[in-house]
Amino acid sequence: MDFLRLSDIPAADLAGKRIFIRADFNVPFTADGALSDDTRIRATLPGIRACLEAGAAVMVTSHLGRPQEGALTAAESLAPVATRLAELLGQPVPLVHNWTDGSFDVVPGGIVILENCRGNPGEKADDPALAARIARIVDLYVNDAFGTAHRRECTLHALALAAPVACAGPLMTAELDALGRALARPARPLAAIVAGSKVSTKLTILESLADKVDVLVLGGGIANTFLAARGCPVGASLHEPDLLDAARAVERRLAEHAGVVWLPEDVVVADRFAPDALTRTVHVDDVPEGWMILDIGPDSRDSLADVLHRAGTIVWNGPVGVFEMDAFAAGTRALATAVAASPAYSIAGGGDTLAAIARFGITERIDYISTGGGAFLEFLEGRELPALAALRARARPASRRLPPKPVFENEPEPA
């Protein structure tokens, strides 16, 4: 992909430079306000450490939640992130408020966290004036926040265009390399697993993948809609009757290049949506009226494992059953085991998928786990991610020269 990488810049050229890193620290907290998972913080450490070890003055920011611009609350502060980052780096990480005018100090080899960027008026609107103001205190902009790359916001898009030099950090680079390998130059057969409650929310993804993949594996309410489109009874299962023609169109697009849709042949049905519901395993042609499909059956698990074993590349987004309930977890457990056991190159993304990977203990057996949710899905759709578009726009050789010397004094705002 045509963009400048942080690793393309010699470490010696980073010394003394003011480096602005846009990270994704949108981390979860417990009910009492304690940080509950630092995975996203740890994921940014390689880029931050590379800059610190080169002697750069590092500024890092992120969004957290959905604050009202100009009115941050304590619950939306990056203060807990600063504390955890200081522990991980073994050095102080001050939190800077009201930072867009540059009225703060950061020395070479030091780092500060700039308070929640979504609190700045103009952030959500991708305000070029805000970007220009921030760019005055930046020598090098680094985007290491793939999870938000689908957002057109100031610190993701306009600032990348306004900064003297803009590049992708190691986390962003790894995500794009992994997705490029999976979709742009895949080992064949390419199998994509797409599951979810509604075809309508993922129709454009399905249409895009229909032109690329050899096998499209469907689960959840999406699979139910496709089963209904084939004339199978789905009882009270979640499905979208008004999208049956769209489902048939996806199947036809796959068939045009000898691709196929994989759907279960047997399913686990329940008389109600509850952990203690009555259940049966039936053929997809025999779903009782009033019952709902909540998982795939044993024959389908075996069939799916065989498909994935023969794949060259696997892209996985979504479970094939209501795996949060033990009674309907067998299908997603079998899917996870099959992906992990397959010799294929595997990449997985999306919140439910990551939860399934963690639950079934296969994290170390997936080749790449994407940190992106919405960005991962939009990449699968084939959309241009705004953050990536900005980095590509800055990839010309003339845009790669860092300022010749650092300037750390605060410059006055223009009148």
Residue 192 lies in a domain: yes
Q: What's 317's domain CATH number?
A: 3.40.50.1260
Q: How far apart are CA 297 and CA 275, in angstroms?
A: 17
Looking up tokens 């290049």, which residue turns up? Answer: 257
Q: Is 177 flagged in the annotation as binding?
A: no
One domain, residues 202 and 324: yes
CA distances from 190 to 217, 312, 315, 334, 360 (A): 11, 6, 8, 19, 24
Fill in the DSSP letter of residue 5.
B
The response to whether 24 counts as a known ligand-binding position is yes
Q: Is 166 part of any domain?
A: yes
For residue 385, give the DSSP letter: P
Q: How many CB atoms lie within 10 A of CB 41?
A: 21
Inter-helix orientation angle 79-89/45-53, to 10°: 60
- What's the token pair of residue 39? 């995975």
Task: Give residue 397's pLDDT.
Answer: 58
Contacts of 364 (CB under 8 A, 6+ apart): none
- Residue 116 marked as a ligand binder: no
212 belongs to an annotated ligand binding site: no
Residue 325 lies in a domain: yes
Query: What per-residue confidence (pLDDT) applies to 30?
Result: 85
Residue 26 labeled ligand binder: yes
**Pairing status of strand 260-262 against strand 215-219:** parallel
Q: Please answer whether residues 413 and 103 qualify as being in contact, where contact means their C-beta atoms are separated by less than 8 angstroms.
A: no
The verdict on residue 409 lying in a domain is no
CB 154 within 8 Å of CB 354: no
188 in helix, strand or coil?
Answer: coil
102 is in an annotated binding site: no
> What sign has the CA pseudo-torsion 362, 300, 230, 258?
positive
- Who contacts 383 (Cβ-Cβ below 8 Å, separation ≥6)? 150
- Token pair in block for residue 408: 């750390």
Whether residue 51 is found in the same domain as residue 156: yes
State the total domains in the chain: 2
CA distance linking residue 26 with residue 289, whole number of Å: 44
Contact 364, 336 (CB under 8 A): no
143 Ramachandran zone, left/alpha/beta (phi>0; psi -120 to 50): beta
365 lies in the same domain as 391:
no
151 labeled part of a ligand binding site: yes
Look at residue 199 in the predicted model and tell me its pLDDT.
Answer: 80
Residue numbers annotated as active site = 40, 198, 351, 374
Which residue type occupies 54? A
CB atoms under 10 Å from CB of 37, counted, come to 11
Domain annotation covers residue 412: no
Range of the domain at 287: 187-381
Q: Are residues 374 and 326 in the same domain?
A: yes
Q: What is the pLDDT of residue 319?
A: 94
Contact 383, 374 (CB under 8 A): no
Which alpha helices (H) appear in 74-169, and where do they start and end? 79-89, 128-135, 158-162
Per-residue model confidence as pLDDT tens digits over 153-202: 999 999 999 999 999 999 999 999 998 899 888 999 999 999 988 888 88
Query: What's the Cα-to-Cα distance from 330 to each of 165, 262, 304, 324, 356, rounded to whole Å?
Result: 50, 18, 13, 10, 11
Using left for φ > 0, alpha for ψ between -120 and 50, and beta otherwise, residue 230 falls in alpha
Q: Are residues 156 and 193 in the same domain?
A: no
Residues 39 and 79 in one domain: yes
* Residue 118 marked as a ligand binder: yes
Residue 122 CA to residue 38 CA, distance in Å, equals: 28
Per the domain annotation, does 114 fall within a domain? Answer: yes
Q: Is the domain of 221 the same as that of 364?
A: yes
Same domain for 135 and 120, yes or no, is yes
Whether 369 and 391 share a structural domain: no
To 5 degrees, how large is the angle CA 200–CA 205–CA 28?
85
Residue 158 and residue 16 share a domain: yes
On whether residue 328 sits in a domain, the answer given is: yes
Residue 147 annotated as binding site: no
Asked whether residue 193 falls in the same domain as residue 327, the answer is yes
Low-confidence ranges of the chain (pLDDT < 70): 1, 396-415
Instruction: Please check whether residue 177 lies inside any domain of the structure.
Output: no
Q: Please give the Cα distance from 248 to 267 (Å, whole number).
A: 21
Peptide bond just before 189 cis, omega within 30 deg: yes
208 and 112 in a single domain? The answer is: no
Cβ-Cβ contacts under 8 Å for 354 (sequence gap 6 or more):
348, 369
| For helices 170-179 and 45-53, angle between their N-to-C axes, nearest 10 degrees | 130
